[in-house]
Amino acid sequence: MVTLSDVRPVEERAWFKTEQRKNVFHFVVGGDWTLPEAPRLDPKLRALDLSKATEAEIDGRGLEKLDSAGAWLLLRTKRALEGAGANVRSFVIPENYGPLFGTLEREHNAPPTREPVDQPFLYRLGRGFMETMSQGYQMLGYLGRVTVETVQTIGPQKKLRWKAFIHQVEETGINALPIVGLLSFLIGVVLAYQGADQLRRFGAEIFTINLLGVSILREVGGLITAIIIAGRSGSAFTAQIGTMRVNEEIDAMQTIGLNTVDVLVIPRVAGLVVALPFLTFYADVMAMLGGAMMCYFDLGITFPVFLRQLQGAITMETFLVGMVKAPVFAFVIALVGCFEGLKVERNAESVGRLTTRSVVESVFFVIVIDAGFSVMFSILGI
């Protein structure tokens, strides 16, 4: 690795001499007092014993090079002498470095401020709690606002922005088909393989199909799709809206009189609410295909047999229980994505931070809501 001293060859390195004659402290410096030399000079200068001096003379006539780092070290030593009660009665440096030294001496007079210390643990805990609560409160308010405006959009007064809506359906739905399809297919394969492995011990291989049908249609298909979309589209919403926030585009919209919820949030929410059920259906089909393939290769169950068994295993209800959750997941993912995007501050770092948070929050909510549905269905006996 290159360091500074390799590029700025220093024939005569920086040096200094000190001499105490009676009460006069002589400080003679010379050579290249430059940045590459500073790390070497710094500890030696700090270690100087200045306590006995009452008069001091600084002689810098031997200086060949001086940059601001070197000038600072010189200035610091001079101030340390003065601070120790010495009277600096002469101070000589080559004429051409006068302006640099003068500028520093004039401009830099405050001692370096200390870094603010970290707050105690309890303070941070309390603060974190208050922030979480206020985040929840804000989100509730935002949920209300989006709900009211969505109702208005569907109602007679306003019209949905169709172009933006169609674009969102394409972006979040159609463009997600390959990845959702592939992953669901693989999940089907894995589930079938694991199920077959266990059930074979009881000679109940054929029930692998029941296992597949119920678990995929009720839970896995919808959950996997929602989680993929939270990572894919929820994060995109936050990043898109957040970047617009950084560029002041959101402010510009508001001054023109456009309603940001109307323009940015509702097309995204509506688009995803429409797209996610279709994606979930598609994921169900792909996962069943994956399972069917595995059943054929692993258990020798042919496709017609697979379908006949599946028909006996599941009902319309099983399918609908999975599907009914999709719009709710979609609503939450889009809502969280847009909400975090609108909270971005005017710096690039907050885009990244809030995008991460948006994905974590929406996956969290998806799973919590899924659990809620399970409890509800079991109470209802479905």
Question: Quick one: 113 or 255, whose CB is closer to another protein?
Answer: 113
152 vs 247 by CB, closer to another protein:
247
Confirm or reject binding of residue 347 to another protein (CB under 8 A). yes
* Residue 113 or 378 with smaller CB distance to another protein: 113
Among 28, 48, 104, 253, binds another protein (CB under 8 A): 104
256 lies in the binding site for another protein (CB under 8 A)? no
**Nearer to another protein (CB atom), residue 38 or residue 272:** 38
Is the Cβ of residue 14 or residue 366 nearer to another protein in the bound state?
A: 14
158 binds another protein (CB under 8 A): no
Q: Distance (Å, rounded) from C-alpha 179 to C-alpha 70?
A: 59
**Residue 12 has what DSSP assignment?**
S
Contact between 67 and another protein by CB under 8 A: the answer reads yes
Tokens for 358? 């948006």
Tell me if 100 sits within 8 A of 71, measured CB to CB. yes
For residue 233 the two structure tokens come to 């589209």
Residue 249 within binding range of another protein, rule CB under 8 A: no
Query: CA 334, CA 18: separation in Å to the nearest integer?
Result: 71
DSSP codes of every residue in 245-314: HHTTHHHHHHHHT--HIIIIIHHHHHHHHHHHHHHHHHHHHHHHHHHHHHIIIII---HHHHHHHHHHH-
Quick check: helix, strand or coil at residue 105? helix
- Interface segment toward another protein; rule CB under 8 A; list 62-70, 82-90, 173-181, 201-209: 62-70
- Burial code (b: 16+ CB inside 10 Å, e: under 16) for 301-313 equals beeebbeebbeeb
Tell me: does residue 198 bind another protein (CB under 8 A).
no
Residues 26 to 45: which contact another protein by CB under 8 A? 34-36, 38-39, 42-43
DSSP 8-state symbol, 231? I
* Minimum distance from residue 37 beta carbon to another protein (Å): 10
Q: What are phi and psi of 241, to 5 degrees?
A: -65, -40
Residue 209 is encoded by which pair of tokens? 């199909």
> Could you say whether residue 247 binds another protein (CB under 8 A)?
no
Single out the residue of 11, 21, 22, 116 in contact with another protein (rule: CB under 8 A): 116
Q: Which is nearer to another protein, 107 or 380 (CB)?
A: 107
Residues making contact with another protein (CB under 8 A): 2-4, 6-7, 34-36, 38-39, 42-43, 67-69, 72, 76, 97, 99-100, 103-104, 107-110, 112-113, 115-116, 345-350
